[in-house]
Homo-oligomer: A and B are copies of this chain.
Amino acid sequence: MPTYTAPIKDINFVLHDVLKISESSIPGYADLDRDFTTSILEEAGKITSEVLAPLNVVGDREGCRLENGVVYTPTGFKAAFNQVRDGGWPGLATDEEYGGQGLPYLMGTAVGEMFGSANQAFTMYQGLTNGAYASIHAHGTDAQKTTYLPKMTNCEWTGTMNLTEPHCGTDLGMMRTKADPQSDGSYKITGQKIFISAGDHDMADNIIHLVLAKITGGPEGIKGVSLFIVPKFIVNDDGSLGARNGVSVGSIEHKMGIHGNSTCVMNYDGATGYLLGEEHKGMRAMFTMMNHARLGVGLQGLAQAEAAYQNAVIYAKERLQGRAVTGTENPNGPADPIIVHPDIRRSLMDQKSFVEGARAFLLWGASLIDQTHRAGDKDADGLISLMTPVIKGFLSDKGYDMTVQAQQVYGGHGYIEEHGMSQFTRDARIAMIYEGANGVQALDLVGRKLAVDGGKHVMAFFDMVKSFIKENEGDDALKTNFLDPLKAASKDMQTAGMYFIQNGMKNPNNALAGSTDFMHLFGHVCLGLMWARMAKAASAALADGTSDPEFYQTKLATGRYYMARQLPATALHLTRIQSGADTVMALTADAF
């Protein structure tokens, strides 16, 4: 069975050596010294490795079951959920006003990686709740906030998001779920929603569904969509739970993975709903939740890759098979451990350099969110908004690839379910799909985000890369191994951007045909930048005479691998982008 050990040292490295958070002026960051973050990370490490990780396989094997309208989670989930609540984990980064611990989003992200690595299906129950909390927090009335947030802060009640219907996912304008206004100001919600993660379960007293629906008589299409709060049990004025609302579970979907999460078909039959935010502005309110969720999905890509990688390393050190081509390394054993073989090593380095780069990217991204919300920095908001589709799409695509590579290290043993490596792959697969399939992320990036504010944010990104290179190119080793490759990759990205500007006007397909390639190109540049920043930090620690030189030397070596072997993918993406739409769109639909 797979194990999980929280990568506390690596997280602390990013927080303190790279981001230097306790020196930051972002409100709340001054408290985050190394001792403090370590104590939080260690506690999170305990509950994730000791409680949640052992339940991961249980959740996969048992799945959830629907009996007489009631959804039961897998054995052990309910007790573990209580333990998680007792530890205050769901409320780590929620508002103190509503009973949360008020820590920065950054710490929620650092801890969130651990929860995701240990048990993605389980963690989704609280992840969805955090998203619904954020949406009510941003768009709810005072009364709504007072009614729901104190209960949702720590998952006493959980939340869901209801967008998809059988005939529409991305194109929500086609939505059929209706909201009929009632004389008391509430609405009757009627319709069917599918793919509702954590849609129902036995671990919370109430479930707060956020549901997109069209108010009867409102505008056609996406402009007529509003967002509603639909609680499973109506909440009385005194806060006690009242009648069961008209919402029920149609069925639990049979999925490729995340079996421990109850993905439900939800039927709304005149259920009482309360408008959240403004009439017909449902998409705006939902996007608060979606953006939050998209970063969380990128985090899942990293989290599954990290968990799979850890187990691949263990296996590669234990499994004896063949001899090193450069000479026996385990003369007393019947064979050498497979970690001696260059192709196994290549695979492990792919994984290691990805997860460490992705972790830095996500924590940096989380710090930009804190900078936005806690310091009101609009530039930070513009930048993280630009990079959100990259975090979601690139990290989930690559995270999945890494789980496949980790599974491959096990050979045949990776294909049978006994070792749990198949589960990482199957669970990671969903991250490429939900919260907007990765093709939609690429479309959002190239079709919308690049041009926001006249391209100001992508220009700021390039300037930041350029400044970093300029400031540091006095360091020869850094220049050769990190800055020069980063410069080349960033130039590829600029050239791609120019191609879009010059050819996308003529024919927008010229830009969109390269959208997925651009998302990956951008992602590589971000990870290249992260590795350059990590290399700088590691060099500084070594120059300062650190007591742990091996740790920092390993960082440098891992970074050199990324720059030499992964970052050059930008050139291929650029070639594809520059080939434009001609070959992509050459055929009529009938020719397929």
A430→B411 contact, CB < 8 A: no
B325→A447 contact, CB < 8 A: yes
Which segment of A46-54, A126-134, A569-577 sits at the interface?
Answer: A569-577
Give the number of residues in A that approach B within 8 Å (Cβ atoms).
95
- Of the candidates B257, B316, B583, the one whose C-beta lies within 8 Å of that of A565 is B583
**1/0 contact trace for A347-372 toward B, CB 8 Å?**
11100100000000000000000000
In the complex, A343 has a CB within 8 A of chain B: yes
In the complex, A255 has a CB within 8 A of chain B: yes
* A340 vs B584: C-alpha distance when bound (angstroms): 11
Give 12 A-B contacts (CB < 8 Å), ordered by A residue: A253-B418, A254-B417, A325-B447, A325-B509, A345-B513, A408-B433, A408-B437, A412-B437, A415-B429, A422-B429, A561-B583, A571-B572
Q: Which residues of B contact A408 (CB under 8 A)?
A: 432-433, 437-439
Which segment of A11-19, A69-77, A107-115, A167-175 sits at the interface?
Answer: A167-175
**1/0 contact trace for A422-461 toward B, CB 8 Å?**
1001100110111001110011000100000000000000
B349→A583 contact, CB < 8 A: yes
* A interface residue numbers (CB < 8 A to B): 164, 167-171, 174, 194-195, 253-257, 263, 313, 316-317, 320-322, 325-326, 334-335, 337, 339-349, 352, 400, 404, 407-408, 411-412, 414-418, 422, 425-426, 429-430, 432-434, 437-439, 442-443, 447, 507-509, 512-513, 515-516, 550, 554, 557-558, 560-561, 564-565, 568-569, 571-572, 575-576, 579, 581-587, 589, 591-592
Q: Which residues of B contact A568 (CB under 8 A)?
A: 572, 575-576
- Of the candidates B256, B512, B591, the one whose C-beta lies within 8 Å of that of A554 is B591
Q: Which residues of B contact A168 (CB under 8 A)?
A: 321
A342→B422 contact, CB < 8 A: no
State the Cβ distance, A308 to closest chain B Cβ, in Å: 14
* A414 vs B195: C-alpha distance when bound (angstroms): 12
Q: Which 6 A-B pairs have the closest CB atoms?
A: A342-B512, A256-B422, A557-B586, A561-B583, A343-B439, A171-B321
State the Cβ distance, A253 to closest chain B Cβ, in Å: 5
Q: From known contacts A254-B417, A325-B447, infer whether A342 and B585 are also in contact, taking CB-CB under 8 Å.
A: yes
